[in-house]
Structure 1
Amino acid sequence: MRYGWIWILAVALLPGCRQDPVEEIRAPEGSQTSDAEPISLPPHSWPWWRGEQRDGVAHGETVQFDWTSQPNVLWGAKIQGLGHSTPIVIGDKVLITTADEKLESKSLICYEASSGKVLWTTNIHQGGFMRIHQKNSQASTTPASDGKYVFTAFIVKDSLYVTAVDLKGQVVWQKEAGPFRSQHGYGSSPIVYGSLVIVLGDSDGPGFLAALRRDTGDIVWRVSRANEPSYGTPILAEIAGKPQIIVGGTGTTSSYDPETGELIWSTRGTARTTANTPAVAGDLVISTGGYPQNGSQAIQGDGEGDVTDSHIQWEARERIYVPSPVVYDGKLYAINDDGIGICYDLATGERLARKRIGGNFSASLTIYGDQMLAPDESGVMHVFHADPEFTEIAQFRLEGTGFASPVFSDGRLFWRTSTHLYCLVPPSPGA
């Protein structure tokens, strides 16, 4: 038994071992969605991760960009620090999160959409940086806005903190949502729903899903999840006639009631670890994973309880891990981490295309009109026709690498690289 105590200590320190579940908080009786001011967004907003309809599609009128290797850059603003979060657009403001390794600060920056002028910078946290994967950053989560406040989610000293900042850059409230033990960092973006802002805390310790009041930051409900790290953002959608939050990871795909946090249904799969956002097409949920298992599931979202044996419509074994899939014209599109374009028929799961694009990808496809855009990690923006062949229209490169997804607002493309925030516009008539 000379080394017995070492073995006991080693087992106790294994990730996920002997970790008590996070303390749960149950929602009070009655609806929580009528307690705060209504969400009010200016026209042409891209207010949170994957856009206003949370699907990675630019809805509304589009303009013709005529993409070439020399895009028309209206402005480019140098970014202090590093982050992989995608920009959001609220009226005449573009906002990003960033982290400065030297100062060990985490900030929210607001730019004027027409000029790229920095309107304000708000320091959200100082110190307490977490351990991260080499491909992650200390500011990888996209902020979200209800039109009045901007919400950020950061890990500081083994806790997940949510902060509300008004559109003048003043911190309104800051609250700890729950504990978080980092394996490779954090990547899940906040969700705005009714009077709530909802965050996922799947970590290398006690995991949780929590809802905080938009106006005060008070926790309304919090439910525990498995001790498994996962990095994706849930999706909020109307499915089978009711709002549902769909969460991948921890070896399951699960649906929760956003009002109360109660589990509605779950399936086994697709993977223990996910790093992207599921897609929704009507009542069909498509969940994908990439570690250690590969695969995708299409799940009918009208069930209750464990629906593994009854509601999976189709499955596929292709790896779609970090980049999120997007639904367009009855098909599911994605470029996976290894630079392979994949297209499935939504109804049947038939694979319609598997095409090598080249490079490595962490950003997700964005649909604009009948085109798809995504940058690879080296910083090359790829523009495709939205067809199963991934017919390439153009490539272009600006300064910096490419981990953030492109977003559109009012006929303008906003793209954040590792060094700059850019605004691209169509060429002037006659140019």
Structure 2
Amino acid sequence: MQAARTSLVYRLARVPLFAALATLPLLADDWPQWLGPQRDGVWRENRIVEKFPAKGPKVRWRTAIGGGYTGPAVANGRVYVLDRQLGPGTSNPSNPFAKVTIPGSERVLCLDAADGAILWKHDYDCPYAVSYPAGPRATPAVDGGRVYTVGAEGNLLCLDAEKGNAIWSHDLKKDYGITTPTWGFAGHPLIDGGKLICLAGGEGSVAVAFDKETGKELWRALSAKEPGYCPPMIHEYGGKRQLIIWHPESVNGLDPDTGKVYWTYPHTPIRSGMTIASPRKFRDLLF
């Protein structure tokens, strides 16, 4: 039974991403990053549909793309998403847990939110050696005419949102001397003012902040054997904005401007490094 469920999840991950995009032209609000404008999963538009038709909402368009697990980011009438293209004559292993090197590339795609037309593609060579190799994991972040992406093998890109050309990039594995996590780099990038905050990994660099305009590193912080898969989040506690980083060994509150660690709550290391869920605030509690 477990094998059947695993196989089903693996197949579904490769379905072209049209269902989630089908009704985007109806929305007034942009959704430019993981969990939306305020990174809290709340849609504040006033035209919320209270009930879908019996046969579901009308499909406005479909666009076939490659495999992947990223969500779409929507901004200024465009949809940004990542996918995976296998190399010629290559297929993914039947066992998604197998870690073998698979030739292929990753792509950043920009679609017209009105009709699904592909406006531009930015692709780069990216052999995979991760479990569940269907495609990239992290949702793009769009801000100030730029789109920021993190690929499954640690390719961090800043692209022109209008044309798709690269403005700056980092290879997180090379720059920080780290290896790819078992299930790939999956922490959704966070934009905070003039900074882009990402999960990297290794000694002193679990969390890293970059100047979002130039790509220059501004600070790095925290050490752990694995970075985990939980996205960085910012919440306010005690009158201070705090960057919450949950990695497999501890939960941490940092100054988002400097990377200074305010507090650390250590816990028993999480099995397989699987810190995943986004930290959420309720009143003065952190979940």
* Interval of TM-score (by shorter of Structure 1 and Structure 2): 0.7 to 0.9
Could you tell me how far 1:250 is from its partner in structure 2? 2.2
Larger Rg: 1
> Does residue 170 of the first structure (1) align with residue 165 of the second (2)?
yes
Structure that is richer in helix per residue: 2
Match of 1:212 in 2: 210
The one-letter amino acid of 2:151's match is: F
> Conserved in 2, the CA contact under 8 Å of 1:188 and 1:232?
yes
Q: 1:180/1:206 Cα in 2 relative to 1: closer, same or farther (>3 Å)?
A: farther
Match of 2:118 in 1: 118
**Residue 268 of structure 1, aligned match among 262, 266, 269:** 266
- Counterparts of 1:207 and 1:223 in 2: how far apart (Å)? 5
Could you tell me how far 1:194 is from its partner in structure 2? 1.0
Number of residue-to-residue matches in the alignment? 237
> Conserved in 1, the CA contact under 8 Å of 2:77 and 2:113?
yes
- Counterparts of 1:62 and 1:240 in 2: how far apart (Å)? 35
Alignment of 1:24-423 (within 5 A): 44-102=29-87, 104-123=104-123, 125-129=124-128, 131-134=129-132, 137-156=134-153, 160-168=154-162, 169-177=164-172, 178-182=176-180, 183-202=182-201, 208-269=206-267, 272=270, 273=273, 274-286=275-287
- Larger relative contact order (Cα-Cα within 8 Å, sequence gap ≥ 6): 1
- Counterparts of 2:193 and 2:67 in 1: how far apart (Å)? 31
Q: 1:46/1:220 Cα in 2 relative to 1: closer, same or farther (>3 Å)?
A: same
SS at match of 2:62: strand
Structure 1 stretches lacking a partner, 5+ long: 1-42, 287-431
Which string of whole-angstrom CA distances, capped at 9 and with x for unpartnered residues, describes residues 258-286 of structure 1? 11111111212375231121111243211
Q: 1:137/1:237 Cα in 2 relative to 1: closer, same or farther (>3 Å)?
A: farther
Match of 2:21 in 1: none
- Counterparts of 1:65 and 1:268 in 2: how far apart (Å)? 43
- Counterparts of 1:69 and 1:270 in 2: how far apart (Å)? 47
Q: 1:224/1:253 Cα in 2 relative to 1: closer, same or farther (>3 Å)?
A: closer
SS at match of 1:216: coil
SS at match of 1:100: strand
Could you tell me how far 1:151 is from its partner in structure 2? 0.2
> Conserved in 1, the CA contact under 8 Å of 2:204 and 2:220?
no
> Conserved in 1, the CA contact under 8 Å of 2:141 and 2:149?
yes
Q: 1:179/1:145 Cα in 2 relative to 1: closer, same or farther (>3 Å)?
A: farther
- Counterparts of 2:62 and 2:195 in 1: how far apart (Å)? 32
Identity %: 25
Which string of whole-angstrom CA distances, capped at 9 and with x for unpartnered residues, describes residues 360-389 of structure 1? xxxxxxxxxxxxxxxxxxxxxxxxxxxxxx
> Conserved in 1, the CA contact under 8 Å of 2:150 and 2:185?
no
Match of 2:18 in 1: none
Which string of whole-angstrom CA distances, capped at 9 and with x for unpartnered residues, describes residues 40-88 of structure 1? xxx7111111111111111231332522452123333333321110111
> Conserved in 2, the CA contact under 8 Å of 1:109 and 1:122?
yes
Name the stretch that deviates more: 242-251 or 268-277. 268-277
> Conserved in 2, the CA contact under 8 Å of 1:232 and 1:275?
yes
SS at match of 1:74: coil
What is the TM-score of this pair, normalised by structure 1? 0.51
Could you tell me how far 1:180 is from its partner in structure 2? 3.3
What is the TM-score of this pair, normalised by structure 2? 0.75
The one-letter amino acid of 2:171's match is: E
Structure that is richer in strand per residue: 1
Structure 2 stretches lacking a partner, 5+ long: 1-27, 89-103
- Counterparts of 1:151 and 1:254 in 2: how far apart (Å)? 24
Could you tell me how far 1:222 is from its partner in structure 2? 1.3
> Conserved in 1, the CA contact under 8 Å of 2:63 and 2:116?
no
> Conserved in 2, the CA contact under 8 Å of 1:256 and 1:262?
yes
Please tell me the root mean square deviation across aligned C-alpha atoms, in Å.
Answer: 2.2
SS at match of 2:259: coil
> Conserved in 2, the CA contact under 8 Å of 1:202 and 1:231?
no
